[in-house]
């Protein structure tokens, strides 16, 4: 079978299964076996038996609403190829903004040799993104999930990043008695009552413990913001990714815990996505 013929059938199959951007996803599947967009439409290569079998397996799994990132086994975050695995939260494109803001602040303050802590690190995408761009810094990534830490360490090796250290444990527990220039976190922030309304790709496949932020979505923000002052150096910075609509409550929590110079950064969709705050001590 020629690749364009398979492409058309695959797009229809995914569209009928309720997938929002089937053309894009089918192109990613073809790319995973070495056929890029230009080759697909210019050369229309013939798919051999093994390629067809693999591609059709991809389609059958995706029709069941399994995330494409789990099917392919990887995603991209900034310039990094990040291994993904069921049981570990898939990094989102909007989270790249957190890394970009950290790098901007570090460069502005001249803190190139910073010591940085990333909580709820998951696949390690944030920690590795920062470590890759701030090569003179040391970054610690912490997650309670043993599986997540294992995947994060693999991602460090895949991308050749050696200035990031991953530790298993609950939030600040693995880094007792240490102080950091910067703390980052993308904690669970979905309200418990809203979990049932998530897309099937999320609620049926991704780890719920990495999503559920408690009744009001603030459970982990409260802990992180309350305890962060004990682990930040004087004038240390806190960067938090925010759940939709939570920026006012999280900002209030930060003010109550002696954080100053608070600012909110919106993502490309105009959503208040990142909180930046300074702890003056």
Specify whether 51 is located in the same domain as 166. no
Specify whether 39 is located in the same domain as 149. no
- Total number of residues shown for the chain: 281
In a domain, 69, yes or no: no
User: What's the chain's average pLDDT?
Assistant: 95
Specify whether 127 is located in the same domain as 191. yes
Residue 159 is encoded by which pair of tokens? Answer: 């991308």
**157 Rama sector, left if φ>0, alpha if ψ -120 to 50, beta otherwise:** alpha
pLDDT above 90 for 60: yes
In a domain, 73, yes or no: no
As a whole number of angstroms, the longest Cα–Cα distance in the chain is 66
In a domain, 71, yes or no: no
Average pLDDT rounded to a whole number, residues 176-196: 94
Specify whether 55 is located in the same domain as 90. no
Specify whether 149 is located in the same domain as 43. no
Specify whether 103 is located in the same domain as 49. no
What CATH number is associated with residue 96?
3.40.50.150
Specify whether 267 is located in the same domain as 188. yes
Instruction: Find, among 197, 189, 196, 240, the residue nearest to 215 by Cα.
Output: 189
pLDDT above 80 for 112: no
Q: What percent of the chain shows pLDDT beyond 70?
A: 100
Instruction: Find, among 268, 279, 191, the residue nearest to 239 by Cα.
Output: 279
Question: What's the structural domain count of the chain?
Answer: 2
Specify whether 41 is located in the same domain as 94. no
Domain range for residue 36? Answer: 3-64
Extended strands (E) in 155-246: 164-168, 180-185, 232-241
In a domain, 167, yes or no: yes
Residue 280 is predicted with a pLDDT of 82
How far CA 260 is from CA of 27, 117, 170, 208, 281, in Å, comes to 46, 19, 26, 33, 10
Contacts of 67-75 with C-beta under 8 Å, sequence gap 24+, read 67/201, 67/202, 67/205, 67/206, 68/25, 68/28, 68/29, 70/205, 71/29, 72/28, 72/29, 72/32
Specify whether 58 is located in the same domain as 133. no
Specify whether 125 is located in the same domain as 209. yes
Specify whether 49 is located in the same domain as 112. no
Residue 113 is predicted with a pLDDT of 81
Quick check: 142 and 121 in contact, CB under 8 A?
Answer: yes
Average pLDDT rounded to a whole number, residues 47-74: 97
Close Cβ partners of 59 (under 8 Å, ≥ 6 residues apart): 10, 13, 14, 29
Specify whether 95 is located in the same domain as 216. yes
């Amino acid at each position: 079978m020629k690749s364009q013929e398979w492409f058309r059938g695959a797009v229809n199959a995914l569209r009928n299964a309720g997938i929002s951007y089937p053309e894009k996803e089918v192109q990613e599947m073809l790319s995973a076996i070495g056929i890029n967009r230009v080759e697909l439409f210019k050369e229309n290569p013939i798919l051999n038996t093994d390629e067809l079998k693999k591609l059709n397996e991809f389609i059958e799994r995706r029709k069941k609403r399994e995330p494409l990132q789990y099917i392919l086994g990887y995603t991209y975050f900034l310039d990094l190829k990040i291994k993904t695995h069921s049981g570990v939260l898939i990094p989102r494109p909007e989270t790249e903004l957190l890394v970009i803001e950290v790098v901007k602040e570090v460069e502005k303050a001249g803190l190139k040799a910073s010591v940085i802590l990333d909580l709820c690190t998951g696949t390690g995408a944030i920690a590795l993104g920062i470590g890759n761009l701030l090569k003179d810094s040391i970054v610690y990534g912490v997650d309670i999930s043993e599986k997540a830490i294992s995947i994060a360490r693999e991602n460090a090796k895949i991308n050749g990043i050696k200035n990031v250290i991953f530790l298993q444990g609950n939030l600040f527990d693995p880094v007792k008695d240490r102080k950091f220039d910067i703390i980052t976190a993308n904690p669970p922030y979905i309200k418990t009552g809203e979990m049932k309304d998530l897309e099937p790709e999320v609620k049926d496949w991704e780890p719920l413990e990495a999503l559920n932020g408690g009744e009001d979505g603030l459970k982990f923000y409260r802990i992180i913001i309350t305890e962060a002052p004990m682990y930040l150096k004087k004038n240390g910075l806190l960067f938090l990714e925010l759940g939709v609509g939570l920026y006012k409550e999280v900002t209030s929590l930060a003010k109550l815990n002696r954080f100053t110079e608070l600012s909110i950064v919106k993502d490309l969709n105009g959503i208040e996505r990142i909180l930046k705050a300074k702890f003056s001590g």
